[in-house]
Amino acid sequence: MLNWNNLDTLASYQELEKAERINLAEVMSGENGAERVKTYSTPIVDGLTFNYAAKAVDDNVLAILDKLAKEAQLVEKYESLYNGAVINTGEKRLVLHQLTRGQLGGKVEADGVDKREFYVTQQKRIAEFANQVHAGEITNAAGEKFTTVVQIGIGGSDLGPRAMYLAMENWAKKNGAFKMEAKFISNVDPDDAAAVLNSIDVEHSLFVLVSKSGTTLETLTNESFVKDALAKAGLDASKHMIAVTSETSPLAKSDDYLAAFFMDDFIGGRYSSTSAVGGAVLSLAFGPEVFAQFLEGAAEVDRRATNKNLLENPEMLDALIGVYERNVLGYPATAVLPYSQALSRFPAHLQQMDMESNGKSVNRFGEPIDYVTGPLIFGEPGTNGQHSFYQLLHQGTDIVPLQFIGFKDSQIGTDVVIQGSTSQQKLCANVAAQIVAFACGKADDNRNKNFEGGRPSSIIIGEQLTPKTLGALLAHFENKVMFQGFAWNVNSFDQEGVQLGKVLAKRVLAHETDGALKVYSDLLNI
């Protein structure tokens, strides 16, 4: 039997509140600090490690977090999720994104369908389609190969796939796996679609229309925008477009598309990168084998996250340190700082994954809760961020926990030695320096130059960003957010908070406004 209790009712949480606070600057200094960096570390997968030495925790706090994990039954809740329980209480749905990359528990059936089989079938259909496109068996009307793939989608149908594409693009080029260039149209701003269309050769472009619901205003508008451009170029849109949607959506049975691939209601948009939503564009761009490696990395993390030992479960550990920082230490935000240009859109993806999941004020039964939940997430790749917002992170009045990500090797491998070091070494030197600067600070008589320190961070260190380590990185955060949602006793899998704005926008477009909404509409000339 699972107990779905609010965080503040747990005995271990009360113990956590009373636990002695750690002086991070002190514990990270000298030999003690060196020892922490060596020991406060646990593997995520081969070639990827979670190091939490610079977090404000010690063995005592970790032991209490372990009690909390057990009292809140975090792994048991995960088990019930992947065995097909109705975890998404708001929408009364199963939550099955882990099943798109592996079978963790027993067979999961819904409406008489084996769901693992369904996801694998879609993967196979996509793989076959992608191979045919690459082989020139599926072509444009003139019998010429498609060279570019353009994804049309927004939110989860854009952010994850786009971030994953960018993360693998240079790796694929370097490793002979690059098949087609991918572009993305998401915003309803006409300049987004127009700029992408201006940058491609439409005659040789294949468009992937992605919408789980098939009703998203931005995506349907951009579909029409693209169809208009295809018609103007004298092209038959139905020969240039495929759809990725759920079988129940209005797009599912249309003749407007060359092919349709499916996901379902049990895959949340922000968790859909490993479903057909990411599968279509990534398999077209890099080939099905690369997509399979990406899934394998995610699957390995999903398996590891079943470990009940907190220190051997980096997803649960990361999650609970985050809960400690948010609820006990009162920190409002988390900055995601990848020292990897390939991860330039990864923070944007995590913003949706985390904030849409855990930005909740009621528990999973709809009752108000008396504690804070999901933090504000933002970030930029290092070292660019260092020359931008790090000032506030080092000396501002809020303490913002930091999530660094760094790799020993670059993806392309082209580098240059300047003043005795390569660019990759300079990149890595900066991340090491930042961790210690944030944690330990530096005293100065000039208050303006003083660094208090005590600013916590963790780092995920990898050998190289490959499809497999990328899949692992993605699943690490998906599972972290899931465990945090369990700890906060919220439903991490719906997003009612996005609805009101959509309803009001429709009213504006129908000219059914009054009061402030009418004046804003007039000011914006609608």
Q: Which is nearer to ligand G6P, 64 or 244 (CB)?
A: 244
Catalytic residue of the set 387, 408, 442, 506? 387
In angstroms, how far is CA 356 from the centroid of its own chain?
11
**What is the spatial distance between Cα 130 and Cα 453, in angstroms, rounded to a whole number?**
51
As given in the structure block, the two tokens for residue 377 are: 């997430």
Positive or negative: CA dihedral 93, 213, 151, 256: positive
Q: Which stretch binds ligand G6P (CB under 6 A): 5-13, 173-181, 209-217, 509-517?
A: 209-217
Q: Which is nearer to ligand G6P, 28 or 350 (CB)?
A: 350
Binders of ligand G6P among residues 303 to 342 (CB under 6 A) are none
502 is catalytic: yes
CA nearest 226: which of 200, 263, 245?
200
Q: Which is nearer to ligand G6P, 217 or 433 (CB)?
A: 217
Q: Which is nearer to ligand G6P, 197 or 209 (CB)?
A: 209
Q: What is the closest distance, in whole angstroms, from the C-beta atom of residue 376 to ligand G6P in the complex?
A: 17
What's the chain's Rg over C-alpha atoms?
Answer: 24
Q: How many CB atoms lie within 10 A of CB 263?
A: 29
**Per-residue string for binding with ligand G6P, 343-372, x by CB under 6 A?**
-------------x----------------
Q: What is the closest distance, in whole angstroms, from the C-beta atom of residue 378 to ligand G6P in the complex?
A: 18
Binders of ligand G6P among residues 111 to 170 (CB under 6 A) are 154-157
Q: What is the closest distance, in whole angstroms, from the C-beta atom of residue 352 to ligand G6P in the complex?
A: 7
Question: Of the candidates 140, 357, 479, 495, which one interacts with ligand G6P according to CB under 6 A?
Answer: 495
Q: Which stretch binds ligand G6P (CB under 6 A): 50-58, 206-214, 430-438, 508-516?
A: 206-214
As given in the structure block, the two tokens for residue 519 are: 């004046």
Binders of ligand G6P among residues 218 to 247 (CB under 6 A) are 219
SS3 annotation, 152-182: ECCHHHCHHHHHHHHHHHHHHHHCCCCCCEE
Q: Residue 359: CA atoms inside 13 Å, Cβ hemisphere, count? A: 14
Q: Which is nearer to ligand G6P, 158 or 325 (CB)?
A: 158
Q: What is the closest distance, in whole angstroms, from the C-beta atom of residue 15 to ligand G6P in the complex?
A: 36
Nearest-CB residue for ligand G6P: 269
196 within 8 A of 140, measured Cβ to Cβ:
no
Q: Residue 124: CA atoms inside 13 Å, Cβ hemisphere, count? A: 6
**What is the spatial distance between Cα 504 and Cα 493, in angstroms, rounded to a whole number?**
23
Burial class (CB in 10 A: 0-12, 13-18, 19+), 451: middle
What dihedral do alpha carbons 68, 70, 76, 78 form, nearest 10°? 30
Q: What is the closest distance, in whole angstroms, from the C-beta atom of residue 268 to ligand G6P in the complex?
A: 7
Q: Which is nearer to ligand G6P, 356 or 380 (CB)?
A: 356
Question: Of the candidates 270, 304, 360, 476, which one interacts with ligand G6P according to CB under 6 A?
Answer: 270
Query: Could you tell me how many helices (H) and strands (E) the chain has, helices first?
Result: 18, 15
| Continuous segment of H or E residues that includes residue 434 | helix 423-440
| Continuous segment of H or E residues that includes residue 210 | strand 205-210
Q: DSSP E strands: which ranges in 361-400?
A: 376-379
Q: What is the closest distance, in whole angstroms, from the C-beta atom of residue 220 to ligand G6P in the complex?
A: 9
**What is the spatial distance between Cα 505 and Cα 406, in angstroms, rounded to a whole number?**
41
Q: Which is nearer to ligand G6P, 222 or 327 (CB)?
A: 222
Q: Which is nearer to ligand G6P, 251 or 311 (CB)?
A: 251
With a CB cutoff of 8 Å and minimum separation 6, the contacts of 263 are 100, 119, 122, 212, 244, 245, 246, 272, 275, 276, 277
387 is catalytic: yes
Q: Which is nearer to ligand G6P, 304 or 360 (CB)?
A: 360
**What is the spatial distance between Cα 428 and Cα 441, in angstroms, rounded to a whole number?**
19
Question: Of the candidates 147, 213, 384, 430, which one interacts with ligand G6P according to CB under 6 A?
Answer: 213
Q: What is the closest distance, in whole angstroms, from the C-beta atom of residue 287 to ligand G6P in the complex?
A: 24
**What is the spatial distance between Cα 234 and Cα 398, in angstroms, rounded to a whole number?**
57
Question: Of the candidates 392, 498, 509, 519, which one interacts with ligand G6P according to CB under 6 A?
Answer: 498
Binders of ligand G6P among residues 279 to 308 (CB under 6 A) are none
Residue 98 touching ligand G6P (CB under 6 A): no
Residue 269 touching ligand G6P (CB under 6 A): yes
**What is the spatial distance between Cα 34 and Cα 36, in angstroms, rounded to a whole number?**
5
Q: Which stretch binds ligand G6P (CB under 6 A): 94-102, 181-189, 210-218, 451-459?
A: 210-218
Q: What is the closest distance, in whole angstroms, from the C-beta atom of residue 504 to ligand G6P in the complex?
A: 14
Question: Of the candidates 212, 227, 360, 480, which one interacts with ligand G6P according to CB under 6 A?
Answer: 212
Q: Which is nearer to ligand G6P, 56 or 163 (CB)?
A: 163
What dihedral do alpha carbons 222, 226, 228, 234 form, nearest 10°? -170
Catalytic residue of the set 218, 300, 356, 380? 356
394 is catalytic: no
166 within 8 A of 345, measured Cβ to Cβ:
yes
Q: Which stretch binds ligand G6P (CB under 6 A): 68-76, 167-175, 205-213, 504-512?
A: 205-213
Catalytic residue of the set 107, 124, 442, 502? 502
Q: What is the closest distance, in whole angstroms, from the C-beta atom of residue 335 to ligand G6P in the complex?
A: 23
Q: What is the closest distance, in whole angstroms, from the C-beta atom of residue 462 to ligand G6P in the complex?
A: 28
Residue 492 touching ligand G6P (CB under 6 A): no
Residue numbers of the site for ligand G6P (CB under 6 A)?
A: 154-157, 211-213, 216, 219, 269-270, 356, 495, 498
List the catalytic residues: 356, 387, 502
